[in-house]
Structure 1
């Protein structure tokens, strides 16, 4: 059984191998020495989206949002709170659909906010609409 996980650094986007038993020890990136988990969602752009989705051995929950969207702005603090509750077992990330229109089109985002859960490089679940932190955590745990 493989007891190490590949984790993508939220700062420099390097792939790190971390023993699963060390996840709770707040590991740092081997390249930039920043924490691999910050308790905050990672802002992703097209340049690093695939790296985080395909190279991470933990699920990645992506919030597709836009700055002009009222429900998106309302959900943002709840999504950040969910990051504190779900890390280090799930990485939370945000994609600004205004700035990353190609990603939005690629994943057929029709309404925002939309949460998409990725595992092993593929989307496994999707939920549209604003949610509170407890609902986000419950929804993600139901998918695992």
Structure 2
């Protein structure tokens, strides 16, 4: 794959986007120029004919599957059971059972942060990920899973370091990122990963 290279130990510690390492950032910037964010996310939720394939979201608060009318924007859709927003501008805490159910039903891509209370970088990641969740409200959903409380989920999804971001689409992992990054770089990773998976 052109444009990619292995990270040095220092770059890995600094998140592979350390000082002087612009290889991945340049690639994502190029993809951002080629396709707008709206085009990328529209493709992610449509089939070949351009029609929306499904309009369902699982409520991460109560676990109810909600069907959405075709004309309702996902950013304002509410759960029929508990009344909470289905795609809020926030990172929602979830459980392994709800995550598995969301992966089976959701029409939107889901980014999950695997974190632990003892992890200092995870606290930094929370603030940065919240900024990204605000930016992509209605296009993606963001959740976090406590790895200390649910070690089986880490084993199931192959998470070995914290914080780890995993982008799921159509029930499968599309991309993974390990380590803390500023919100700008997380957003570039999200859009770049979405562009590659369409």
Q: TM-score, normalised by structure 1?
A: 0.92
For residue 167 of structure 2, the aligned residue among 117, 138, 143 is: 117
Question: Alignment length, in residue pairs?
Answer: 144
Gaps of 5+ in 1: none
Check if 1:23 corresponds to 2:23: no
Gaps of 5+ in 2: 1-50
Tell me if structure 1 keeps the 8 A contact 2:168–2:174.
yes
User: Counterparts of 1:5 and 1:24 in 2: how far apart (Å)?
Assistant: 9
User: Counterparts of 1:96 and 1:33 in 2: how far apart (Å)?
Assistant: 25
Aligned-residue offset at 1:12: 1.2
Which runs of at least 4 in structure 1 moved beyond 4 Å after TM superposition? none
What's the RMSD between the two structures over aligned residues? 1.6
Cα deviations across residues 55-79 of structure 1 (Å, max 9, x unaligned)? Answer: 1011000111111111111111111
For residue 83 of structure 1, the aligned residue among 133, 151, 154 is: 133
User: Counterparts of 2:185 and 2:119 in 1: how far apart (Å)?
Assistant: 20
Q: TM-score, normalised by structure 2?
A: 0.68
User: Counterparts of 2:70 and 2:166 in 1: how far apart (Å)?
Assistant: 24
Tell me if structure 1 keeps the 8 A contact 2:75–2:87.
no
Give the structure with the higher percent strand: 1
